[in-house]
């Protein structure tokens, strides 16, 4: 056995990383998976994972939720011998055939092969009030924050799978869900989009964008230095909406409407900061070959962080399996 900490280190334990961990361990590799939050990644946010092949529920039971699916995937990988560590990877350096990872706790870990499965993070709308009221009515996760807004007026922004999926979830908590999308049709899968359009608790407004989020601001004592009180954002109170043209840009006619919460699903940004040297496409996603190998030898990439046409759990899982399989082949070649 080598003197490195693992044969294969996986960064990120969403569906791609979890599946890679399972396949790597089953290929008899010493696998270490490092996850900064909880195993599952974005899949933890999925209400009912009804489009994963075979996830149909047993008897009258519904299909597994994203949380249940992630829990089972994690247990499955551990049962085959993959080891999980909770920490964030701060840097990834490669010298010769050895990768050295520096963790948030200051320690390092080494391996001759790495799978980057860091996924993607939500994009912001970048409108006034968004950052100010984040956590005070502005949210990027319906399953996390939706229950705080039961029977309240909720705006959802976006037109892809995440926006439609989360609007569906919120519509079970409130009959006043307004889904605004700056285009004239959804990007989401057809079945999901049609369900949203039929849902009596969701009002869909196409060609509309949120221009600003307004709210109540209270005062807090500023202490001796400021000698007065500081304005502190309390909660969302309204949104400024604007009509949009075919290009999705505002065309005026802004109006204000009362709101208790704003859930934003405006797309995602690939998490690639650990590998500035890896080749990327024009949108910043990492380019690989069919074996999930990046332009950096020994660095494989899987899931939402990889340049590909479709970002779903089934795709991430499949790419994780291919990456682990091909990383094992790479290690065989390396060890002669
Ligand atoms: C609300 C919502 C609903 C969705 N609904 C569906 C659906 O119904 N069906 C479907 O198939 N797909 C759905 N998706 C998409 C699906 O969840 C993603 O395609 C999938 O999770 C991508 O998996 P991944 O492993 O590539 O990345 P992610 O799930 O993003 O996981 C990446 C992981 O890497 C970790 N990480 C990142 N950087 C570091 C670091 N430096 N150190 C350590 N860890 C790190 C993150 O914490 C995260 O856990 C939905 C997504 C959202 C947000």
Read off the pLDDT of residues 40-55 as tens digits, 9 standing for 90 and up.
999 998 878 888 999 9
Half-sphere exposure of 98 (CA within 13 A, CB side): 10
Specify whether the CB–CB gap between 303 and 117 falls below 8 A. Answer: yes
Given the residues 5, 47, 87, 145, select the one marked as catalytic. 145
304 has pLDDT over 50: yes
Q: Report, as an integer, the average pLDDT of 219-246.
A: 81
* The pLDDT of residue 48: 82
Specify whether the CB–CB gap between 21 and 33 falls below 8 A. Answer: yes
Is any atom of ligand 1 closer than 6 Å to the C-beta of 41?
yes
Is any atom of ligand 1 closer than 6 Å to the C-beta of 15?
yes
Q: Would you call 94 a catalytic residue per the annotation?
A: no
Is any atom of ligand 1 closer than 6 Å to the C-beta of 161?
yes
Residue 120 Cα, ligand 1 centroid: separation in angstroms? 6
Specify whether the CB–CB gap between 121 and 269 falls below 8 A. Answer: yes
Residue 287 Cα, ligand 1 centroid: separation in angstroms? 18
Question: Which residue is listed with tokens 């909720």?
Answer: 154
Helix, strand, or coil (residue 218): strand
Q: Report, as an integer, the average pLDDT of 105-128.
A: 96
DSSP E strands, the chain: 8-11, 31-35, 83-86, 89-95, 98-103, 108-111, 113-116, 120-122, 138-139, 154-157, 177-180, 202-205, 208-221, 229-243, 255-258, 261-264, 268-270, 299-301
Between residues 253 and 262, which one has the greater pLDDT? 262
The pTM of the full predicted model, rounded to 2 decimals, is: 0.82
| Pairwise CA distance, residues 18 & 33, whole Å | 8
**Under 8 Å CB-to-CB from 135, ≥6 apart: which residues?**
none
Specify whether the CB–CB gap between 260 and 248 falls below 8 A. Answer: no
Ligand 1 pocket mutation, candidates 10, 14, 285, criterion most atoms within 8 A of CB: 14
Is any atom of ligand 1 closer than 6 Å to the C-beta of 143?
no
306 has pLDDT over 90: yes
How many other CB atoms are there within 10 angstroms of residue 260's CB atom?
Answer: 19
- Measure the CA angle with vertex 75, ends 74 and 81; round to 5°: 95
Helix, strand, or coil (residue 26): helix
Residue 255 Cα, ligand 1 centroid: separation in angstroms? 35
Q: Please give the share of the chain, as a percent, with pLDDT higher than 70.
A: 97
114 has pLDDT over 90: yes
* The pLDDT of residue 237: 97
| Pairwise CA distance, residues 55 & 68, whole Å | 11
* The pLDDT of residue 222: 61
Q: Report, as an integer, the average pLDDT of 278-288.
A: 95
* The pLDDT of residue 46: 83
Arithmetic mean of pLDDT over the chain? 94
pLDDT band at 1 (very low <50, low <70, confident <90, very high): very low
Residue 312 Cα, ligand 1 centroid: separation in angstroms? 9
Q: Would you call 145 a catalytic residue per the annotation?
A: yes
| Pairwise CA distance, residues 281 & 275, whole Å | 14
| Pairwise CA distance, residues 214 & 174, whole Å | 21
Given the residues 47, 60, 141, 260, select the one marked as catalytic. 141
Is any atom of ligand 1 closer than 6 Å to the C-beta of 85?
no
Is any atom of ligand 1 closer than 6 Å to the C-beta of 295?
no
* The pLDDT of residue 57: 84
């Amino acid at each position: 056995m080598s003197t490195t900490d693992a044969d294969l280190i996986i960064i990120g334990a969403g569906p791609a990383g979890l599946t890679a961990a399972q396949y790597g361990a089953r290929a008899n590799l010493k696998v270490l998976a490092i996850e900064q939050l909880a195993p599952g990644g974005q899949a933890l946010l999925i209400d009912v994972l009804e489009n994963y092949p075979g996830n149909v529920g047993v008897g009258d039971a519904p299909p597994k939720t994203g949380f249940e699916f992630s829990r089972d995937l994690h247990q499955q990988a551990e049962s085959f011998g993959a080891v999980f560590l909770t920490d964030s990877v701060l840097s990834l350096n490669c010298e010769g055939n050895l990768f050295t990872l520096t963790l948030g706790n200051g320690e390092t870990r080494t391996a001759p092969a790495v799978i980057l499965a860091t996924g993607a993070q939500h994009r912001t709308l970048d409108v006034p009030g968004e950052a100010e009221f984040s956590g005070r009515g502005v949210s990027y996760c319906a399953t996390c924050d939706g229950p705080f807004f039961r029977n309240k007026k909720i705006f959802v922004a976006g037109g892809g799978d995440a926006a439609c999926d989360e609007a569906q979830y919120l519509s079970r908590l409130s009959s006043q869900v307004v889904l605004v999308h700056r285009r004239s049709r959804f990007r989401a899968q057809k079945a999901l989009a049609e369900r949203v359009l039929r849902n009596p608790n969701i009002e869909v407004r196409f060609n509309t964008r949120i221009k600003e989020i307004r709210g109540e601001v209270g005062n807090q004592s500023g202490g001796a230095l400021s000698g007065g009180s500081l304005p502190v954002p309390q909660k969302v109170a309204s949104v400024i909406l604007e009509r949009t043209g075919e290009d999705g840009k505002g065309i005026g006619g802004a109006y204000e409407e009362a709101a208790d919460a704003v859930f934003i699903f405006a797309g995602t940004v690939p998490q690639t900061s650990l590998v500035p040297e890896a080749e990327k496409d024009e949108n910043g996603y990492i380019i690989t070959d069919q074996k999930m190998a990046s332009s950096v030898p020994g660095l494989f990439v899987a899931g939402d962080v990889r340049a590909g046409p479709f970002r779903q759990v089934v795709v991430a899982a499949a790419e994780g399996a291919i990456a682990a399989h091909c990383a094992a082949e790479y290690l065989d070649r390396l060890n002669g």
